[in-house]
Amino acid sequence: MYIPKRMPDCNYFRNLWWNKGEFNPKAKWEAVTLPYKLAVGVTFDEFVRRSEESNAHGCWEWTNGDVMVYEWPSEPHEICIRTIYDELLKACISVIRTNARIYSLGSSTTRANGEGKEADDSYRPKKILAIPPNGSDRYNCPWPNVIVEIAYSESIDHVTKKVNEYWLRPNRERPSRMRAWHYCVLDRVTRNIFPARTTFEFGMQNGNGAPLNIQPGSCVINIKLDCLYHDLDPSIQIPRNTLSDPITLDFFYVQQAIVEVFMGRD
């Protein structure tokens, strides 16, 4: 008599993340190498529904029916996202409640070329509708103007590939090395190659382990208003006399937020 092999306990608990939205420590996620195939034969609508139910935004990606995990939920990941949000909100606060306001779309799901992805955060002003099927929903939904992607447990190669080929067309220790890249679609070299406009390290140490002592204003990303308001609804004026041009995001404060939250854990 054939007796089927029992599913290993860790696989059972890993499946719970997809089936019930439970990120269970008994799954032994620390032993898993990313990317990890979480489910197969999944429709895009099912992927969107389960992503919402599981609050797995930014962790899962959908490609032709497969759901892949590229990022684990983690405190540094969320701290970076929220602090960048705070910095952008502070820079644009003078246009809140005007028709030139910048909207946070969060990790809204987008779909293109047989893939479904969610940015860690995204922003845009009120825009004209896209021409179907070129919208972010494959219909007429406008694409975001600013995309925030945080790579913590995710590999740099993957997030760079995602930026170049898609958006432009849990460790509990405090992270010691943090790097930022700023890309702009205007800098296209070839169809899928975009050099970084700005890149810098803003962690506590560099790649050689030497300490970094960054100061306010030394690690910044500048976003021109023409980029922030790209494809703006033509009935709205870019608030050039209200906002700074460019908008400046200072990553000194992102670093400090992570340092403060992880203080005493070393």
pLDDT tens digits, one per residue of 76-95: 888 999 999 999 989 999 99
Evaluate whether residue 233 is within a structural domain.
Answer: yes
119, 61 contact by CB (below 8 A) = no
64 shares its domain with 156: no
| Confidence (pLDDT) at 263 | 63
**60 shares a domain with 92:** no
Report, as an integer, the average pLDDT of 22-37: 89
Which among 63, 21, 16 is positioned nearest to 40, based on CA atoms? Answer: 63
- Sign of the CA dihedral 110, 115, 121, 123? negative
Answer yes or no: do 36 and 146 share one domain. Answer: no
Decide if 266 is inside a domain: no
Of the candidates 44, 70, 96, which is a domain's last residue?
A: 70
Say whether both 19 and 151 belong to one domain: no
Residue 4 has pLDDT above 50, yes or no: no
Nearest-angstrom CA–CA distance, 185 and 149: 15
Is 230 within a domain?
yes
pLDDT surpassing 70 at residue 27: yes
Dump pLDDT digits (tens) for 98-114. Answer: 989 998 988 888 998 88
Bridge partner residues of 147 (DSSP): 122
- Report the alpha-carbon distance of residue 29 to residue 171 in Å, rounded: 10
In this structure, the answer to whether residues 135 and 178 fall within a common structural domain is: yes
The verdict on 46 and 77 lying in the same domain is no
Record the tokens describing residue 1, joined without a space: 């008599």
What distance in Å separates the CA atoms of residue 70 and residue 158, rounded to the nearest whole number?
8
3-state secondary structure of 66: strand
Determine the longest span between alpha carbons in the chain, in angstroms. Answer: 80
* Structural domains in the chain (count): 2
My answer on whether 80 and 60 are in the same domain is no
Domain ranges, residue 29: 1-70
